[in-house]
């Protein structure tokens, strides 16, 4: 890519009070780990329908899926 997406990620993470770690290996790929502060607010009513159900996992990890295409986001979640 052109690297323009990286500046957008950095801007979003910084505005959110978080941090980002980047791991890259030529010929293998790049991994971005984004750390955001936990929100202690409630879930909006419009967001409760998006939760498909509970899935087993580690209780100390939260994964946020950000995708503007509904079909891709639903498949990933």
Sign of CA dihedral 70, 58, 13, 46: positive
Domain boundaries, the chain: 4-76
- Tell me the pLDDT tens digit for each residue of 20-52: 999 999 998 888 899 988 877 766 655 555 555
What pTM, to 2 d.p., does this model score?
Answer: 0.48
Calculate the CA dihedral of residues 40, 42, 48, 53 and round it to 10 degrees. 40
pLDDT in the model for residue 54: 60
Sequence-distant (6+) residues with CB within 8 A of 56 are none
Which of 36, 41, 9 minimizes the C-alpha distance to 22?
9
């Amino acid at each position: 890519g052109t690297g323009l997406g990286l500046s957008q990620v950095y801007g979003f993470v910084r505005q959110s009070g978080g941090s980002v770690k980047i791991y890259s290996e030529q010929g293998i790929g790049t991994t971005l780990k984004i750390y955001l502060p936990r929100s202690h607010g409630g879930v909006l009513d419009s967001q409760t329908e998006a939760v498909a159900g509970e899935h087993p996992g580690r209780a100390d990890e939260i994964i946020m899926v950000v995708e503007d295409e509904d079909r891709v986001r639903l498949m990933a979640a």
